[in-house]
Every structure is written in C-alpha cells, then in structure tokens.
Amino acid sequence: YAAARQQLYSKGYFIELLACYEPSFRYMAEWWKQLYGESEGKDGIGIFPASLEYTADLHSMGQYVQDGPRTMFETVVSFQEPLNELKIPFQMGDYDGLNYLAGRGFSEVNDVAKKAVRKAHIEGGVPNIEISVSKRDEEGFAELICFFEFACGLSAYISGVNPFDQPGVEAYKKNMFRLLKLM
C-alpha cells in the first residue's frame, strides 16, 4: 500500500481519496486524514488525504472524481462480512420501482455499487487501491489501525520525510498561544 501510494504520487496523483461504503466508517476516515496529513505533508511534498462516504457522496463528489482533473486516486476500504445485515423491505404499491430488491441485504446493494463505481472510475482514469477487511468488528478495526499506522510511517520514509514530527502544526500553535496571551 505504501509503495503503491508513492508510485502513484510520482506519476502526478497527489490526492488520495479514502472511500468506504459503510457510513459507520466516517470517523475512521477522519482519523486516517489526520494521521496521513500530519505525517506526510512536509517540505512542500506529500499526498493530500481526503475521504468520501459512498454511496452518499456518489452524486456530488462522484461527478468530480469521474470527470475532474486526473490528480487523484481512490483507496477503497471494504468489509467481507457485514456487522449487522439489514434487509430491504417490500413496499406495497412499489412506488419507487425497487421491489425487485426486496429481501436483499443492503450490503449486497453496496457491493454492486462498489463494483460499478470502481469500473467507471478505473475506465475514467482514476487508479484504485482496494483494502479488504474480513469483518467490521473490533478485530477488523485493530487490523486497520495497525495497517494504516505502519503503512503511513513507511510511506513517509519512502518520500523522504520524518513521519514523527509536525513542524506545520507547531507553527500555528505557537502563533495561537502568543495571540491568546494578548487577549
């Protein structure tokens, strides 16, 4: 993962979009942005970390990813087993025309969406990396944290920066404390 990111960066892809089809992944993505942003964004270089919550962001941000500038790549995190599978209910009257999906799990629909989006984005020139986790539970969460932390350090060292300092953060903190003392 670290090597793939750096190879894409060397080809001009300097924005990484971490995407997941699980709404509960939102805060993990926020943690990931903080980890990679402060570890790699130094000395005028680094991959800009951003995140997308699919399928919610498909219509708004999906347009930009599909037809925008070719400076970004996607890393899609998926879970092989859903934690709590919800089924699509049958609706009397079939007003939305989707009763053919009744009884199917939401994870099945998300898997189809993921395949369709991946195909469209790759065909449109957006490189994709997929990270598959066995289950969305405590063990899967721990695996992801260890994986991302190790890969972050390795990726930063490949790019030639120290992942363990944060000079940019220190600069604004010094200014903030100085200004607060003037209040």
Contacts of 104 (CB under 8 A, 6+ apart): 87, 88
Catalytic choice (59, 123, 138, 181): 59
What is the rounded CA–CA span in Å between residue 149 and residue 166? 16
Catalytic choice (22, 38, 40, 53): 38
Strand-strand pairing, 128-135 and 72-81: parallel
Helices (H), 43-105: 60-67
What is the rounded CA–CA span in Å between residue 171 and residue 42? 13
Q: Does residue 121 carry a catalytic annotation?
A: no
Q: Does residue 22 carry a catalytic annotation?
A: no
- Helix (H) / strand (E) element for 15: namely strand 15-20
Before 55, cis peptide (omega within 30)?
yes
What is the edge-to-edge ordering of all strands in the sheet holding 15-20? 48-53, 15-20, 72-81, 128-135
Catalytic choice (87, 119, 173, 174): 173
Q: Does residue 59 carry a catalytic annotation?
A: yes
- Reading the block at residue 76, the tokens are 């899609």
Catalytic residue list: 38, 59, 173
